[in-house]
Chains A and B, each alone.
Chain A
């Protein structure tokens, strides 16, 4: 709910403003941009799986600037230690005590680049922080800022020297998306346009922090009808049927699906969720959570398509 005294801009106007600005920087990725914002509004974290150089950093950076949030980038390498992420206490000789030096994780938007290059130990330090939205270092629990949004990127699994994220860890990302190569026109615009870095610096925040938190709360109020719950449960039940997938949707995945659908309805200016919202977010929300028993290497898009087609909408 907006508490500002002047007439507050509607959720729809805010969202459209954000999307418009993002699309001036990230060319030809309207769907991905939309999903990224949806993910953020649903208070989830985003995993972008793609080759280097397709605009992951630009997207994360643009998001942070447009939303007026603090931004930190953590380059994951095989020698990255948890303390490099979380921060550490150092002895201040002047003050005669230990002082905590917060790591880059104490920021509102974090780009965790090439997360699968780091060791599982460092990965889990990040992922636990993501899940709890707080950090415990040396016995002291410190809350992370709110909103808190992690965009992790991951190179394709086959590359050498990577530690693929296990399924249980993947589950902590609300969505996994692919950016992919830009299409012909977007590529041309990219080549002809100004430098990305300059463009990013010109971006101004389109939303206050309070407004963003309001929007996130707004998502929870998007109406989910009985019929839609029926549909969600039918989808979830379908994934859990024995012999179909290695693991079905976890309760957390079901919840994630609903939240993502609610956020997507809000982004679509609606006060209630419809099956098409669920279907729109399902590839991003379910793609990294389902692996068919019969064909483990089937592309996620096809897996999800089969799932959608198997469940009638009410």
Chain B
């Protein structure tokens, strides 16, 4: 029996548990923080444990104060500020370690526990992937176990019981967590915004295109987005995912440029493909959609150039539904100002390309479509190579590429083609985005990776509007038909993941990858991107459409109340006072179990006599049998039966070896 603790005394056995929990919660910060941050926190943990073991004296007040100042100074020196994600987390890690170092009393320990929970949260500032989330479940478990130990009294219960209690508490919290997660009224956008420290940390299309800017993405196997279609999935050659459109060319780099607005046009609504995109964060504002989107989701708009732009930069996984119309005519009438912008070339750029274009124009006269075909034919016939590792281009990039190196990736082809078109007097622009995608049968969606990044050209033709022309398709048709991996199947300079496939091992890895990706897809869809849209969708599925936030709060309260009532009911039921001779039932079970164990009790045999006999015959059973006999007799014959004894009686019964042990004994018994 543990003695009542003085109010503020820390049970000695709680410290190692606390240290372990902190260690688990702090460890992942090792990836994002300079090594000294975690090392210092670790030193503080170890120091306190040594104090606990009586090896070293506890640090004094002045030393602790000095350490705190020094830690703050170090963080300031490293980051120049204490605000922001990285310095804030560094400070939290260091201070958590120091707080643990000075933990002496119960109150300190409770504070450390809550700091531990906070450290768990900060890990999600860096990653919200499934493995980290699973690891954080472990961290929460460890922290809660430490909380249990801190409150367990001087002679705490055995470890197993503490862990069982922790598991029970977390299991009880689980339904409440689910209710709060799904029903808490969502506001559009993140609840708090986290300033991005390094914009380059996220991969994705950039706001410009120059040789190398798209092929850079091929190094990344990371998903760009995932798409589910309401109806049929378009064929491989149709899977162009439209991103930003570039007009302005300065001789090397393509940018959006300042283009006059287009006259308003009513997008066609017939023959559209409805699809839902789950977009990975890329830190920019454009949203990808199947070429050509005709509707914009909430909080986004459709630009004059036919791509979607969100109101806020995409900093977390978002999910939106779009309708697209493949091959829709864009801008059938081109204003003069826009035509000018679509023909603009820097005066000294690409003289040889201009000459080539003029030659085509001379041959085909005013037929723009024929000029386009001639250009495509040129790419097909001339010895162009589609490669990830083109020779570097120095002087005039377009001329050098078209007439000397003839080796490049899609951005080379799209850029050069657009220049050729403009030189021939055909309005043209560059469109970037993605092309292709892997169908994931497990999740029934298309997975588009960063490595599917692509660029192509749009030319404006009289009577048809902007028309997609993909010079890459002329050079490497397999890129368009079978994806980027097929295009590079023999090229050892491309990343291995692009070349796999073919043998069974590659297939297996591919399938596993797809399984894993569908897991991520659901994680993204139901956890990370669970916003107001998704919430509405879920409620509609539950038959609760049109619920406003007040109704949601009410629903949440009712659901929470139901869960709590259920738990309270279970608690009361399990601790109910015995009704109709439950003692007799327990005794019957006790008799049955002991009979199975080979020591049957005669009906007239009083339990203490029986217990003595068992102690003689089967000493290994003596403990629970004697305990049961004592508790039973007190409950059955003693004055004022105490319900707590009832629980102990059950405990003794449980302590007896069960059916399995009895069977084992029967088999083991010789003869």
Contact = CB atoms under 8 A, between A and B. Distances in A.
Contacts of A223: 637-639
A272 B602 contact: no
B633 A274 contact: yes
Interface in B579-638: 584, 602-609, 633-634, 636-638
Interface stretch (A24-32, A35-43, A292-300, A306-314): A306-314
A228 interface: yes
Contact of A310 (B604, B606, B608, B634): B604
Which of B605, B606, B638, B639 has the largest number of chain A CB atoms within 10 A? B606
Contacts of A272: 634, 637-639
A227 interface: yes
Interface in A262-289: 271-276, 279
A225 interface: yes
Contacts of A276: 606, 608-609
A274 B637 contact: yes
Interface residues of B, number: 15
Interface in B145-179: none
A311 B608 CA distance: 17
Contacts of B584: 314
Contacts of B608: 274, 276
A279 B606 contact: yes
Contacts of B604: 279, 308-313
A313 B638 contact: no
Contact of B606 (A225, A271, A274): A274
A313 B603 contact: yes
Interface in B34-85: none
Q: Interface size class for chain A?
A: 10 to 19
A309 B608 CA distance: 16
A37 to B, nearest CB: 21
Contacts of B638: 223, 225, 271-272
Contact of B603 (A225, A271, A312): A312
A313 B629 CA distance: 13
B275 to A, nearest CB: 74
A225 B637 contact: yes
Contacts of B636: 225, 227, 314
B639 A313 contact: no
A234 to B, nearest CB: 10
Interface in A244-276: 271-276
Contacts of B606: 274-276, 279, 313
Nearest to A309: B604
Nearest to A228: B637
Nearest to A221: B639
B585 to A, nearest CB: 13
A279 B607 CA distance: 12
Nearest to B608: A276
B13 to A, nearest CB: 37
Contacts of A228: 637
Which of A271, A310, A312, A314 has the largest number of chain B CB atoms within 10 A? A314
Nearest to B640: A223
Contacts of A279: 604, 606
Nearest to A271: B639
Which of A228, A276, A309 has the largest number of chain B CB atoms within 10 A? A276
B649 to A, nearest CB: 14
Nearest to B583: A227
Given A227-B636, A274-B608, 11 more contacts: A223-B637, A223-B638, A228-B637, A272-B638, A274-B637, A279-B606, A309-B602, A312-B604, A313-B604, A313-B606, A313-B607
5 contacts: A272-B637, A274-B606, A308-B604, A312-B604, A313-B607
Interface of B: 584, 602-609, 633-634, 636-639
Identify the 7 closest CB pairs spanning chains A and B, nearest first.
Answer: A312-B603, A276-B606, A223-B639, A275-B606, A225-B637, A272-B638, A274-B637
